[in-house]
C-alpha cells in the first residue's frame, strides 16, 4: 500500500472535484499490496510522548442488540470482554440517526445544526471549511492518524474500496479495504432487486471471514498496530467496519448461529400509527416495500442482521487480541461505538431515520488508562462528547468550537453522571432524552405534533402521552428544556466558518 504525503492545512473551501482527487490520492483500495513505510512517515520525533494511544472502533448501523447490553440471543463475546475491562454507557445517543450527519457531528464535536450536514453524500468542508476534526487535533499534537474503512460517510456498498466522502485533511494515512462481498453482489437477495444499501438485503456468504471487507480491515489494523509498536509511534487509529449495514453479508456459519425459527418479530398493535404525529408516522412508513413485511422474510432479515453483528464482533476480537498480544492495551484508549441506532421491526419499522429510542441510542464502550474497570454508567452521553473526552484523556486541548462535554469524570467513576439530557434531531423534529422520558417536538414549537414516552412504564415507546392531561406539566417542562438545548446546539461554532447553501447533490446508492 502507498504511504500518504502529509497534506497542508485547508486554507479555504475547495471544489468538490478537487476534494475527490485529494481523497483518492490519500487512500488506497489495494488491500493485498504491502504498505511498507506507512508508519515510518509519522515515526520521527513522535515516540516517548507519554500520552496514551487511541484506537477508535466503530460499526455501521449497529444498535444495542449486543450481549453486554442484555440481548438474549446475539453473541458478541469480544465487545462484551471490552466492556468487562472498561465502562459501558447504557444511555448514549447519536445527534442524527443517519450515517453522514452523525459521523460529521462526532468527528467535529459539533451538532448537525452547526456542521450544516443533515443528509448523506456531503463533504464536511463544503459547509465548515476550516473546522479542526478530532483526528486533526491528534495529528497536530504528534500522533500518527490512520483511517481504515468507513469513518466519514460512504454509500454502502457502492463506495466500499474507495474513500467515499472522506475528509483527507483528517488523516496521515488511509486504507480502503475491499473484499469478496463486493464481488458477490449479484448473489445478494434484496427486497428491491439490484438495490442493497437502502433496503433490506442479505447474503449468507461462501468463503472465510478474511475474504470479506471487514476481515481485510481487521488484517490491516493488526499490521498497523505491529508497525506502531515497532516504531514507538503514538497513534490515533480509527477503524470503521461496514457491517452490519445492509446488505447484511456474513459467512454462512454466522447465519447458522441464529436459526430463523427461533427469531421473534416485534408486533405493532392495531391503530398504533394514528397515535403518533404525522411527521413521526412518515419516518416509519416511507419505505413501502418494508411495510407489513412477510413474517418469513422478517425473520430472515433479523437472522442476517444478527449474523452480521457476530461477524463484525469476530473481527473486533482479532484487533483486540493483537492489542493484547503486543502489550499495548495498557497504553491505549479503546472506544467502541456505532454511528446511530437501528430498528429491526420495532414500531413496524426497519433500519434507521426515526426519533425513537431504537434509532437514537448507540452502544458506547470505552476502556484503557484512566478508565474504570467493568463499570456501567447510567449517565446520559452524546456522540459529540467523544472529541472533548479523548482530548482530556490524552492531555490535549480541543478547539473552542467543540460543543460536546468531556465524559472523563464518568469514566473514572461510572456512578457519577456527566449529562442529564441527550439531544437528537431528524428532519423537522428534535428529541430530548432524560433518564425517565423521551420528549419530541416536530415543526416549529411543536406545530407538527409532540410525543412523550415514559421509560419507566413504556421502554418500547409505544404509548404517546403528549396529549394526556395528566402529563401537561411534564410536557411543558420538557418543552422548555428541549428548546434551550436546541438553541445552544444551533449557535455558530467559535472560529469555524459556516457556509450555508442548498446542497441537493445526490449520488446512486
Q: Residue 170's pLDDT band (boundaries 50, 70, 90)?
A: very high
Q: Residue 464's pLDDT band (boundaries 50, 70, 90)?
A: very high
User: Partners of 381 in the beta sheet?
Assistant: 92
% of the chain at pLDDT higher than 90: 88
| Per-residue pLDDT at 97 | 98
Q: Residue 506's pLDDT band (boundaries 50, 70, 90)?
A: confident
- 15 DSSP 8-state letter: P
| Per-residue pLDDT at 31 | 35
Q: Which three cell numbers stand for residue 215?
A: 476481515
Q: Which CATH architecture has domain 16-415?
A: 3-Layer(aba) Sandwich (3.40)
Question: Model pTM?
Answer: 0.91
Tell me whether the omega of the peptide bond preceding residue 339 falls within 30 degrees of 0, making it cis. no
Q: What is the pLDDT of residues 56-72, one digit of tens each?
A: 999 999 999 999 999 99
Neighbouring CB atoms inside 10 A of 443's CB total: 16
| Per-residue pLDDT at 4 | 38
Distance CA 73, CA 70 (A): 9
**Is the pLDDT score of 490 beyond 80?**
yes
Neighbouring CB atoms inside 10 A of 77's CB total: 14
**Is the pLDDT score of 45 beyond 50?**
no
Q: Are 231 and 40 in contact (CB under 8 A)?
A: yes
**Is the pLDDT score of 447 beyond 50?**
yes
Mean pLDDT of the chain: 91
**Is the pLDDT score of 348 beyond 50?**
yes
**Is the pLDDT score of 46 beyond 60?**
no
| Per-residue pLDDT at 502 | 87
Distance CA 440, CA 136 (A): 34
Calculate mean pLDDT across residues 413-419. Answer: 97
| Per-residue pLDDT at 508 | 63
Q: Which three cell numbers stand for residue 422?
A: 441527550
| Per-residue pLDDT at 509 | 57
**Is the pLDDT score of 341 beyond 50?**
yes
Q: Are 4 and 173 in contact (CB under 8 A)?
A: yes
Tell me whether the omega of the peptide bond preceding residue 247 falls within 30 degrees of 0, making it cis. yes
| Per-residue pLDDT at 151 | 98
In the three-class reduction of DSSP (H, G, I as helix; E, B as strand; rest coil), residue 183 is classed as helix
Q: Is the dihedral of CA 186, 189, 194, 199 positive or negative?
A: negative
**Is the pLDDT score of 43 beyond 90?**
no
Calculate mean pLDDT across residues 106-129. Answer: 97
The candidate with the shortest Cα–Cα distance to 458, out of 385, 356, 370, is 356
**318 vs 47 pLDDT, higher one:** 318
The candidate with the shortest Cα–Cα distance to 240, out of 190, 343, 167, is 167
In the three-class reduction of DSSP (H, G, I as helix; E, B as strand; rest coil), residue 463 is classed as coil
User: Cβ-count burial of 502 within 10 angstroms (0-12 exposed, 13-18 middle, 19+ buried)?
Assistant: exposed
**Is the pLDDT score of 177 beyond 80?**
yes
| Per-residue pLDDT at 20 | 41
User: Partners of 350 in the beta sheet?
Assistant: 344
Q: φ and ψ at 440, to 5 degrees? A: -130, 135
% of the chain at pLDDT higher than 70: 90
**Is the pLDDT score of 141 beyond 60?**
yes
Residues 6+ apart with CB under 8 A from 321: none
**Is the pLDDT score of 18 beyond 60?**
no
The CA–CA distances, whole Å, from 399 to 303, 402, 442, 496 equal: 44, 6, 32, 10
Amino acid at each position: 500500500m502507498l504511504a500518504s504525503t502529509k497534506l497542508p492545512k485547508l486554507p479555504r473551501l475547495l471544489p468538490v472535484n478537487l476534494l475527490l482527487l485529494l481523497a483518492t490520492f490519500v487512500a488506497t483500495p489495494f488491500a493485498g499490496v504491502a504498505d511498507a513505510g506507512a508508519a515510518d512517515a509519522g515515526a520521527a520525533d513522535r515516540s516517548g510522548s507519554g500520552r496514551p494511544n487511541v484506537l477508535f472502533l466503530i460499526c455501521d448501523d449497529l444498535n444495542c442488540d449486543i450481549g453486554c447490553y442484555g440481548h438474549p440471543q446475539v453473541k458478541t463475546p469480544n465487545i462484551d470482554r471490552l466492556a468487562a475491562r472498561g465502562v459501558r454507557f447504557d444511555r448514549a445517543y447519536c445527534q442524527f440517526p443517519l450515517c453522514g450527519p452523525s459521523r460529521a457531528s462526532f468527528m467535529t464535536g459539533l451538532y448537525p445544526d452547526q456542521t450544516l450536514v443533515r443528509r448523506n453524500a456531503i463533504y464536511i468542508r463544503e459547509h465548515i471549511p476550516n473546522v479542526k476534526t478530532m483526528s486533526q487535533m491528534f495529528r497536530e499534537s504528534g500522533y500518527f492518524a490512520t483511517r481504515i474503512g468507513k469513518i466519514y460517510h460512504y454509500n454502502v456498498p457502492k463506495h466500499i474500496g474507495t474513500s467515499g466522502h472522506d475528509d483527507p485533511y483528517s488523516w496521515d494515512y488511509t486504507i480502503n479495504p475491499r473484499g469478496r462481498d463486493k464481488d458477490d453482489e449479484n448473489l445478494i437477495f434484496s427486497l428491491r432487486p439490484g438495490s442493497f444499501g437502502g433496503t433490506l438485503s442479505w447474503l449468507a456468504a461462501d468463503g472465510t471471514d478474511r475474504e470479506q471487507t471487514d476481515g481485510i480491515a481487521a488484517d490491516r489494523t493488526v499490521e498497523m498496530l505491529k508497525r506502531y509498536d515497532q516504531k514507538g509511534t503514538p497513534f490515533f487509529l480509527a477503524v470503521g467496519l461496514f457491517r452490519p449495514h445492509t446488505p447484511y453479508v456474513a459467512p454462512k456459519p454466522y447465519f447458522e448461529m441464529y436459526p430463523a425459527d427461533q427469531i421473534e418479530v416485534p408486533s405493532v398493535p392495531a391503530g398504533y400509527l394514528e397515535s403518533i404525529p404525522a411527521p413521526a408516522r412518515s419516518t416509519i412508513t416511507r419505505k413501502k416495500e418494508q411495510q407489513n413485511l412477510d413474517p418469513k422474510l422478517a425473520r430472515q432479515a433479523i437472522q442476517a442482521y444478527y449474523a452480521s453483528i457476530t461477524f463484525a464482533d469476530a473481527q473486533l476480537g482479532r484487533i483486540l487480541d493483537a492489542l493484547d498480544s503486543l502489550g499495548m492495551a495498557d497504553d491505549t484508549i479503546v472506544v467502541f461505538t456505532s454511528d446511530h441506532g437501528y430498528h429491526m421491526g420495532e414500531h413496524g419499522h426497519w433500519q434507521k431515520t426515526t426519533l425513537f429510542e431504537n434509532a437514537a441510542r448507540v452502544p458506547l464502550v470505552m476502556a484503557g488508562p484512566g478508565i474504570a474497570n467493568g463499570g456501567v454508567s447510567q449517565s446520559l452521553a452524546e456522540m459529540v462528547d467523544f472529541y472533548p473526552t479523548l482530548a482530556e484523556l490524552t492531555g490535549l486541548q480541543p478547539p473552542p468550537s467543540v460543543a460536546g462535554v468531556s465524559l472523563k469524570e464518568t469514566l473514572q467513576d461510572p456512578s457519577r453522571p456527566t449529562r442529564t439530557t441527550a439531544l437528537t434531531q431528524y428532519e423537522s423534529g428534535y428529541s430530548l432524552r432524560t433518564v425517565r422520558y423521551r420528549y419530541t417536538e416536530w415543526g416549529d414549537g411543536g406545530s407538527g405534533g409532540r410525543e412523550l414516552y415514559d421509560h419507566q412504564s413504556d421502554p418500547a415507546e409505544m404509548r404517546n402521552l403528549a396529549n394526556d392531561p395528566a402529563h401537561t406539566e411534564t410536557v411543558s417542562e420538557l418543552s422548555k428544556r428541549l428548546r434551550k438545548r436546541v438553541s445552544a446546539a444551533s449557535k455558530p461554532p467559535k472560529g469555524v466558518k459556516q457556509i450555508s447553501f442548498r446542497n441537493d447533490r445526490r449520488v446512486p446508492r
